[in-house]
Structure 1
Amino acid sequence: MSRWPYVFFAAACFYIMIGVCWGMYMGISHDHATSPGHAHLNLLGFVSLSIMGGFYALLGKETPTWIVGANFGLMNLGVCLLAPALFLLLSQRVEPAQVVPVFMIGEVSILLGFLAFGAAVIGGLRRTGRAKAGSLKVAIA
């Protein structure tokens, strides 16, 4: 098996550790103003990367490495930009105009990461369809 699933799961573990600490901080401080950022970190960083890692481990084994690498890089860039920007904005530590460029890059990166994942899923579906069609021809002959 490729190392890529492990890389996705390692990144997901890193993000959930940060997310749990962030949640503990909110609970201790009774300040939940940054909870949308906390939720984005957990959903995009932990849940999405875990699902992607599971896909590549189970079904995406024949996905071209460049698609998997692009998926990983784009998602991580987006999470690393978006979560801190949300924290800074929601905690009112910066003016909105100061983080708009960071949001734009992070959001586009996340979108492109999901497009790369979609390409991997569709590519796997097409490969599976071709394999079944080939086995059907052999069975008929």
Structure 2
Amino acid sequence: MKGVALWFFATGTVAVTLGMIWGIQMSATGNHMLSGAHAHLNLVGWATMALIGLYYHATPAAAETVLARVHYVVALVGLVTLVPGIVQALRQTGETLAKVGSFLTLIAMLIFLVTVAMHARKPA
């Protein structure tokens, strides 16, 4: 694995590691107030990023495009904005970051949708 595929997969691995540490911390303290943010870190950060990394690994033609690099940047900025934004929303200190992160995460998924569609039509 290399390039964009590795970037996505490695980011997912970092996210799940942080998510596990956070989950242990919540369990140890008995404070699950931020479980929604923890869940998004694991779902968007681990599951989504890792699966996208596997897709790019399996579809090297898609991984070699400029769009794949743009996809990674948008997805990463979305993730690192979304999770703290959910924390702020749950703590009732603002929702702007959550909204921005949600929008960026949606854009990243739309880029992925376009990428999959573009490369599904090409012969293997």
Query: TM-score when scaled to structure 2?
Result: 0.91
- Pairs within 5 Å for 1:20-59: 20-58=20-58
CA contact (8 A) 1:71 1:117 kept: yes
Residue 102 of structure 1: CA displacement? Answer: 1.2
| Cα distance in 2 between the residues matched to 1:29 and 1:2 | 39
Q: State the one-letter code of the partner of 2:69.
A: G
The answer on whether the counterparts of 1:2 and 1:61 sit within 8 Å (CA) in structure 2 is no
CA contact (8 A) 2:79 2:105 kept: yes
Secondary structure at 1:62 match in 2 = helix
Q: Per-residue deviation at 1:121? A: 0.5
CA-based RMSD:
1.5
Determine whether 1:114 maps to 2:103.
no
Q: Which amino acid aligns with 1:62?
A: A
Give the one of 99, 102, 127 matched to 2:97: 102
Q: Residue 22 and residue 2 in structure 1: after superposition, are their counterparts in 2 closer, same or farther (change >3 A)?
A: closer
Q: Give structure 1 stretches of 5+ with no counterpart.
A: 132-141
Identity of aligned residues (%): 25
Between the aligned partners of 2:118 and 2:54, the Cα distance in structure 1 is 16
Determine which structure has more spread, i.e. the larger CA radius of gyration. 1
**In structure 2, how many angstroms separate the alpha carbons of the residues matched to 1:104 and 1:17?**
25
Give the letter aligned to residue 15 of structure 2: Y
1:62 matched to 2:61? The reply is yes
Query: In the TM superposition, what is the alpha-carbon distance from 1:103 to its structure 2 partner?
Result: 1.8
Q: Deviations over 1:7-60 (max 9, x none)?
A: 1111111111110111011000111111111110100011001110000111x2
CA distance in 1, matches of 2:108, 2:55: 14
CA deviation string 1:68-114 (max 9, x = no partner): 11211111111101111212332x2x52xx3x221221111001100
